[in-house]
C-alpha cells in the first residue's frame, strides 16, 4: 500500500484519492465548461501516486498530457454525512499535488459521455508533496498556489478563488461516500493548465507547504 509521511513523521496508508473538477471558475471556462452548481467529483486509484523527486511517465497512447496543480487534503478521521465544521476538523494535513490529465483522451471520453477515468488513472498521474499537519500550517483565501514548468510560471492563483472551499468539498464528498484516514482529496486546479513533454521539470508550490518537484519522462 502506498503510504504518506507527514513532515513530523506521522504515517498514513493511502486509501482512495477523490478529486474535484472545475473548482475554479476561470479554469472551468478555459476548457469551455460550465461553472458547476455542486462539486464535480471523480476518483483516482492509489496506485497512481508518486512523491517528490520522482518522475511522471507519459503514457504512449496520449500526446497531450496536462499539468493541474492542486491543494491536496489528507483526511485524518472517518467522515460520513458531516457538515463543513466537522469536515474541517477531519482535515489532518495539507500537501500540494499534480492531477496529471491526458487531455486528448479526456476530450474523446467527454464527447462520448463516458467517465473520465482512463484520462486520469494512469500510473504516476497523482503526484504529491510531503504533507504538513493542519495544526502546523495556516491556509487562508490569500494563500497562493503556483506551478512552474522549467522555471516559467504556468499557474498562479489565490486559494480563495475556489468555488467550494476545502471544508465544503469534504462535507459534500462525505454525503456521497465515507472518507477514511489516509484518503487524499485533490481540490481542483486554477486556470493555466497546459501540455508538458518529456524532459520538463515541474515545481508546484503552496505557501507554507513543502514544495513538489517532479520530472516528466516518456514511457
Ligand atoms: Zn484536477
Give which of 23, 19, 49 is closest to 35, Cα–Cα: 23
Q: What angle do CA 80, 42, 208 make, to 5 degrees?
A: 75
Could you read off the pLDDT of 122-144 as tens digits, one per residue? 999 999 999 999 999 989 999 99
pLDDT at 167 over 80: yes
- For ligand 1, the distance from its centroid to the CA atom of residue 85, given in whole angstroms, is 24
- For ligand 1, the distance from its centroid to the CA atom of residue 135, given in whole angstroms, is 26
Specify the pTM. 0.96
pLDDT at 1 over 80: no
- For ligand 1, the distance from its centroid to the CA atom of residue 14, given in whole angstroms, is 18
Could you read off the pLDDT of 49-71 as tens digits, one per residue? 999 999 999 999 999 999 999 99
pLDDT-derived band at 106 (thresholds 50, 70, 90) equals: very high
Average pLDDT in the 159-188 region? 97
Q: What is the enclosing helix (H) or strand (E) of 117? A: helix 117-120
Cα dist. 101→14, 59, 68, 219 in Å? 20, 11, 7, 15
Give which of 133, 186, 178, 126 is closest to 11, Cα–Cα: 133
Give which of 76, 97, 99, 70 is closest to 88, Cα–Cα: 76
The pLDDT score that the predictor gives to residue 25 is 87
Give which of 184, 63, 197 is closest to 127, Cα–Cα: 184
Average pLDDT in the 108-135 region? 96
Pair 70, 189: CB distance under 8 Å:
yes
- For ligand 1, the distance from its centroid to the CA atom of residue 61, given in whole angstroms, is 20
Amino acid at each position: 500500500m502506498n503510504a504518506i509521511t507527514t513532515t513530523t513523521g506521522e504515517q498514513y496508508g493511502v486509501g482512495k484519492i477523490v478529486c474535484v473538477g472545475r473548482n475554479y471558475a476561470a479554469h472551468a471556462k478555459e476548457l469551455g465548461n460550465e461553472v458547476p452548481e455542486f462539486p464535480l467529483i471523480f476518483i483516482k486509484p492509489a496506485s497512481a501516486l508518486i512523491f517528490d523527486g520522482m518522475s511522471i511517465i507519459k503514457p504512449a497512447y496520449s500526446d497531450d498530457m496536462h499539468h493541474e496543480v492542486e491543494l491536496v487534503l489528507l483526511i485524518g478521521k472517518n467522515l460520513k454525512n458531516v457538515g463543513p465544521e466537522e469536515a474541517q476538523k477531519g482535515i489532518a494535513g495539507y500537501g500540494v499535488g499534480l492531477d496529471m490529465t491526458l487531455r486528448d483522451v479526456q476530450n474523446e471520453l467527454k464527447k462520448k459521455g463516458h467517465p473520465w477515468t482512463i484520462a486520469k488513472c494512469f500510473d504516476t498521474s497523482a503526484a504529491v508533496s510531503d504533507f504538513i499537519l493542519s495544526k502546523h500550517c495556516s491556509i487562508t483565501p490569500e494563500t497562493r498556489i503556483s506551478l512552474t514548468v522549467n522555471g516559467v510560471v504556468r499557474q498562479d492563483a489565490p486559494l480563495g478563488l475556489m468555488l467550494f472551499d476545502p471544508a465544503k468539498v469534504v462535507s459534500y464528498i462525505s454525503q456521497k461516500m465515507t472518507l477514511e484516514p489516509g484518503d487524499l482529496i485533490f481540490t481542483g486546479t486554477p486556470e493555466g493548465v497546459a501540455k508538458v513533454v518529456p524532459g520538463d521539470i515541474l515545481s508546484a508550490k503552496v505557501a507554507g507547504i513543502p514544495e513538489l518537484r517532479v520530472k516528466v519522462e516518456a514511457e
